[in-house]
């Protein structure tokens, strides 16, 4: 019963946090005003800036920030014990992650929908803008290069997910056109029910007849082929108006994902009360089979700082500030919606990560098949088979597999057939990954456009190479093509010294992927720095943000330092290994960049209290009319 108690207790904690701490942040700290004009209306262009109802923006935001992060991170972090993972997810999402997401969203809303990197240039200084934007560019390039591989692997693991994921695209376009034409709330509700039913039908049909054959054929495509297909889709999705494909697809995904999450929770309740089914018809009791705490799992790095880098999404992730300030801030039609979209989405993701933890540490014990012998393993035997060592969980397959098998067992407790249960979970994982990919492509467009505008300043005179280059590379079609091609070239690079071939191409993103965890968390720390300066310049309290900011600047610094210079466990540092110099160079530059930005912030901090930045976008009459020009 402890599994059920944890699920209910954490769910209640998230609800209480949303209605207390989240509400306090929105009303007292960020002073959300429903009458203030949002960027979606002030700069509405029908493409990126589109006023949208809260439920649709929530769906887009939740699915975009989630991705596979709250699945793969917790699924491996439980090796340090289920309690450290659970505490980090619960406390991190409430007091750090949700504050980060809401703050990034509000700062962007008050800055004409600019990304957090562009806002940093005004709140701190212009040097910080280009440094911040370069970090964003590098991180998004890695995401675009790696997520094609991630989705291809998920499709190979769960071929029945391919057809439902592809069906989402035309369904999304139809929904987008209909909602654009018929705006009544009742129509949206009816459409949602119909589309959700069609999605679940596609999951069932996708494993039958010719569709099953198509899934098997598609799953066998070379990884590079899937990378190309997905990058082409991402290009189209990111240049089309958000209301036509991105919003409705994410909305459909959010409904499907939340319903599937609800089914898993219901299965957890049933399994807690009557146990899970076994092959002989008996019931296996649901119990936690993982250790409470394990400070030294086989081959694993130190719990600090690597637990806090391994679990990013679900507790806090720097990628979220890009979604908040990149796409969601351009779509909110009412400023007060920011609380549910920013804070609410993050605590829902925290609850998802909690369920992933429980599925891995409890659901897995209801029974899995041994990969070598095919024997049925129950209880701690199932746990030991999957979590024998850190290296055994190193690939995406074992991480996702632990959650899918555990959650599938919970669904089976309600009588759902095993094949359908696995298909549902496979679609959930693949859908999360796909929504991150297309959102990341649009975000990369924004970042690259801002970089071009920073590097090539606007000129009053017409003509000239610089002016032409600026106009060309701020065109959304051109700059998105550049972003996709760069990601494709990185992905096409074969790993190690392998010769290029269709079989090993598509894995190039793995070259830089070891950097992503720490740089992603560093991005969160830097976003906190921007949020703190926004509040500090307006004379508001920042006490609640200081410790999270310091923690999120310290953790990635220590993690990168260990990876580069000392190594951990039996894994040598990147310098000692002698064959990862591209990682060493980028990591050291990143560390120096962090130190530089912190020094810049410390130098400016004493003088910035109550001093508005130049070109401040706020129209709040309580803010003093001062600027920092000349400081």
Tell me, what's the pLDDT at 411? 93
176 inside domain:
yes
- Which residue from 82, 95, 84 is spatially nearest to 16, judged by alpha carbons? 95
116 neighbors 527 (Cβ within 8 angstroms)? yes
- pLDDT at residue 443 in the model: 92
The pLDDT value given to residue 624: 47
The answer to whether residues 564 and 573 touch, using CB atoms and an 8 Å cutoff, is yes
Domain annotation covers residue 227: yes
The pLDDT averaged over each successive group of 10 residues in the chain (631 residues) is 94 97 95 93 91 92 88 93 97 97 96 89 81 85 88 87 89 88 76 85 81 90 91 93 89 87 94 83 87 90 93 93 94 95 96 96 89 83 89 80 91 88 86 85 91 76 67 89 93 79 81 88 93 93 94 94 85 83 88 87 88 70 43 33
- The answer to whether residue 420 is domain-embedded is yes
Q: What is the pTM of this model?
A: 0.92
Whether 268 is covered by a domain: the verdict is yes
Which 3-state string (H, E, C) describes 489-532?
HHHHCCCCCCCCCCCCCCCCHHHHHHHHHHHHHHHHHHHHHHHH
- Inside any domain, residue 559: no
Which residues on neighbouring strands pair with residue 571, listed in sequence order? Answer: 568
User: What is the rounded CA–CA span in Å between residue 126 and residue 123?
Assistant: 9
SS3 category, 242: coil
Q: How many domains does the chain have?
A: 1
pLDDT at 127: 77
Q: Residue 316 domain-assigned?
A: yes
pLDDT given for residue 628 in this prediction = 41
**Domain presence at residue 528:** no
3-state secondary structure of 369: strand
Beta-bridged to residue 368, according to DSSP, are 377
Is 478 inside a domain boundary?
no
pLDDT value of position 460: 52
Q: Residue 292 belongs to what domain range? A: 2-453
Question: What is the per-residue pLDDT for 567?
Answer: 85
């Amino acid at each position: 019963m402890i599994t059920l108690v944890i699920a209910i207790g954490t769910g209640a904690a998230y609800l209480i946090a949303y209605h207390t701490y989240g509400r306090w942040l929105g009303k007292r700290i960020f002073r959300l005003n429903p009458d203030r004009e949002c960027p979606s209306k002030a700069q509405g262009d029908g493409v990126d800036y589109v006023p949208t109802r809260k439920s649709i923006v929530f769906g887009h935001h939740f699915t975009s920030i989630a991705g596979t992060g709250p699945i793969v991170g917790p699924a491996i972090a439980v090796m340090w014990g289920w309690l450290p993972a659970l505490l980090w997810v619960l406390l991190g999402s409430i007091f750090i992650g949700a504050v980060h997401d809401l703050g990034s969203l509000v700062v962007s809303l008050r800055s004409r929908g600019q990304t957090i990197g562009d806002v940093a240039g005004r709140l701190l200084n212009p040097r910080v803008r280009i440094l911040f934007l370069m970090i964003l560019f590098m991180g998004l390039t890695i995401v675009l290069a790696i997520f094609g591989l991630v989705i291809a692997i998920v499709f190979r693991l769960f071929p029945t997910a391919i057809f439902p994921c592809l069906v989402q695209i035309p369904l999304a376009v139809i929904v987008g056109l209909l909602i654009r034409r018929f705006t009544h709330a009742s129509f949206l509700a009816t459409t949602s029910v119909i589309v959700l039913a069609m999605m679940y039908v596609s999951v069932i049909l996708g494993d039958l007849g010719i569709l099953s054959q198509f899934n098997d054929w598609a799953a066998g495509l070379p990884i590079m082929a899937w990378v190309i297909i997905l990058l082409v889709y991402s290009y189209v999705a990111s240049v089309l108006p958000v209301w036509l494909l991105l919003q409705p697809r994410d909305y459909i995904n959010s409904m499907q994902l939340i319903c599937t999450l609800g089914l898993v929770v219901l299965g957890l309740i049933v399994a807690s009360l009557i146990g899970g089914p076994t092959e002989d018809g008996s019931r296996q009791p649901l119990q936690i089979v993982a250790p409470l705490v394990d400070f030294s799992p086989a081959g694993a790095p130190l719990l600090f700082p690597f637990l806090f880098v391994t679990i990013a999404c679900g507790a806090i992730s720097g990628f979220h500030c890009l979604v908040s300030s990149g796409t969601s801030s351009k779509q909110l039609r009412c400023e007060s919606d920011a609380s549910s979209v920013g804070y609410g989405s993050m605590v829902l993701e925290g609850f998802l990560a909690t369920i992933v933890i429980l599925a891995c540490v409890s659901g897995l014990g209801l029974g899995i098949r041994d990969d070598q012998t095919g024997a049925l393993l129950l209880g701690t035997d199932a746990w030991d088979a999957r979590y024998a060592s850190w290296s055994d969980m190193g690939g995406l397959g074992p991480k996702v597999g632990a959650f899918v098998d555990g959650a599938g067992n919970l669904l089976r407790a309600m009588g759902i057939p095993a094949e359908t249960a696995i298909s549902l979970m496979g679609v959930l994982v693949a859908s999360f990954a796909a929504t991150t990919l297309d959102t990341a492509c649009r975000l990369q467009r924004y970042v690259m456009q801002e970089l071009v505008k920073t590097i090539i300043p606007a000129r009053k005179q017409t003509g000239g190479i610089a002016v032409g280059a600026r106009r060309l590379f701020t065109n959304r079609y051109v700059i998105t093509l550049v972003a996709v091609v760069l990601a494709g070239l990185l992905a096409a690079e074969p790993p190690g010294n392998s010769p290029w071939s269709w079989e090993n191409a598509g894995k190039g993103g793995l070259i830089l992927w070891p950097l992503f965890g720490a740089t992603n968390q560093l991005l969160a720390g830097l976003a906190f720095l921007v949020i703190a300066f926004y509040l500090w310049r307006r004379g508001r309290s920042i006490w609640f943000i200081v410790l999270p900011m310091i923690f999120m600047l310290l953790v990635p610094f220590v993690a990168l330092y260990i990876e580069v210079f000392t190594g951990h466990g039996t894994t040598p540092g990147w310098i000692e290994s002698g064959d990862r110099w591209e990682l060493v160079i980028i990591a050291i530059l990143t560390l120096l960049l962090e130190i530089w930005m912190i020094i810049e912030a410390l130098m400016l901090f004493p003088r910035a209290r109550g001093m508005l930045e130049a070109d401040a976008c706020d129209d709040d009459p309580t803010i003093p009319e001062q600027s920092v020009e000349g400081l």
